[in-house]
Amino acid sequence: MTAPSELVERRHILLCCGTGGVGKTTTAATLAIEGARRGRNAVVVTIDPAKRLANTLGLETLSNAAHEIARTRWDPDGDAAPDGRLHALMLDTETTFDQLVQTYAGSEEQAAGILSNRFYRNIAGALSGTQEYMAMEKLYELHDRGGFDLIVVDTPPTRHALDFLDAPRRLTRLLDNRVFRMLMVPTRGVVRVGGVAAQAFLRAISRVVGSEAVDDVVAFFRAFEGMEDGFRERATQVMALLASDDTAFVLVTSPRRDAVEEAEYFATRLADGEFAVDALVVNRVHQHYCDRDPAALRDQARALVARRSDAANRLAEHYANLADLEEVAVRERAELTGLEQRIGDASVSHVPELGHDVHDFAALRAVGSHLMGAD
């Protein structure tokens, strides 16, 4: 069992995963700040932060390079470890992909041919999975060349939290596509039956989507020839980095049923892939106000109403409200039981419902103290 405080002190990479709307970005920012407070050179990679949080982190625009946040902002009281540093970056998917193409292209002409291709621009700009892949690519780059002690990555809000693990494979599958590789055959001056069948196939597709789109695809795969190996190799390196002991998976969820179900699914899938959840962070948990059963509190409210006095009625409302809030607290804990069992010996931290939006350093610190003092 590794508490979040230990993760930010010792690990090199923290991957925050979870579905949308559970406070992943906030958790990632908090972990990076806590790492910096403990003297580490930390960077948080965000994907799509809410505006006010982005402003706090100085991320008004996409920035493909990490920028440092002034110490006075994240450590206003000056009580953090002296050599800690905090950086932030908002992933620019397209630029990251362009750089990757430039790295693996055999020549400048090859790179230019790919970068100007319309099909390529669609992949870089809009293909689902590209963002996930580029997040992992950026992670690798920061690991390889950034000189950071601690890299905290917020993963994209995919429908299934695990999509980012599949993304490199999905993209390589696209680039490896057999049908389109067949199309390459005639350009090599060898005419085979496969080539003819592929041409017929292409004509059929052209009838549906128009020939321009198909021409773009053919041009792309011609330009891309020879680069697949580089991409595949990089995907392998990224997977190895994720599997390393220096990488920890932080599963973020809220106590709502749908979020918990997704988190359980994620934990199971992660286990299938030889990974394990190291820490579970549950955001916005309602606290218990007392240890009485909600039903007993409701009975008491009813008994008070039966007294038919104004004072008793008013008091009854307070009891009914306490029952409401206790009921939520009980329900949330029941919701979480199965998940907490499934993740084995991962640490579990509950961040209470703070009742306000978390977007400035003071609020991030408040979340941080709940996370670091994990139960």
Residues contributing to the site for another protein (CB under 8 A): 19-22, 48, 50-52, 119, 122-123, 125-127, 157, 159, 170, 173-174, 177-180, 201, 204-210, 212-214, 216-217, 254, 256-259, 289-290, 292, 304, 307, 309, 311-312, 314-315, 317-322, 324-328, 331, 355-357, 359
How many CA atoms are closer than 13 Å to the CA of 221, on its beta-carbon side? Answer: 21
Instruction: Give the pair of three-digit tokens for residue 369.
Output: 């103290």
How far apart are CB 360 and another protein at their closest, in Å? 12
How far apart are CB 279 and another protein at their closest, in Å? 21
How far apart are CB 213 and another protein at their closest, in Å? 4
CB closer to another protein, 276 vs 315: 315
Instruction: Give the pair of three-digit tokens for residue 298.
Output: 């409701």
How far apart are CB 75 and another protein at their closest, in Å? 25
CB closer to another protein, 267 vs 374: 267
Cα separations in angstroms, 17 against 28, 33, 88, 147, 321: 9, 18, 18, 24, 34
CB closer to another protein, 55 vs 187: 55
How far apart are CB 344 and another protein at their closest, in Å? 26
How far apart are CB 52 and another protein at their closest, in Å? 8
Dihedral of CA atoms 191, 196, 201, 203 in degrees, nearest 10, equals 100
Among candidate residues 301, 302, 340, the one with its CA nearest the CA of residue 322: 301
Are the C-beta atoms of residues 29 and 73 closer than 8 Å to each other?
Answer: no
CB closer to another protein, 172 vs 237: 172
Element (H, E) at 17: strand 13-17
Helix extents (H) in the chain: 4-10, 24-37, 51-56, 71-74, 93-104, 108-115, 118-126, 130-145, 163-175, 178-184, 193-209, 211-224, 228-243, 257-272, 294-305, 310-342, 361-372
- How many Å apart are CA 51 and CA 44, to the nearest integer? 16
How far apart are CB 118 and another protein at their closest, in Å? 8
CB closer to another protein, 211 vs 244: 211
CB closer to another protein, 112 vs 325: 325
CB closer to another protein, 24 vs 85: 24
Strands 85-90 and 63-68: antiparallel
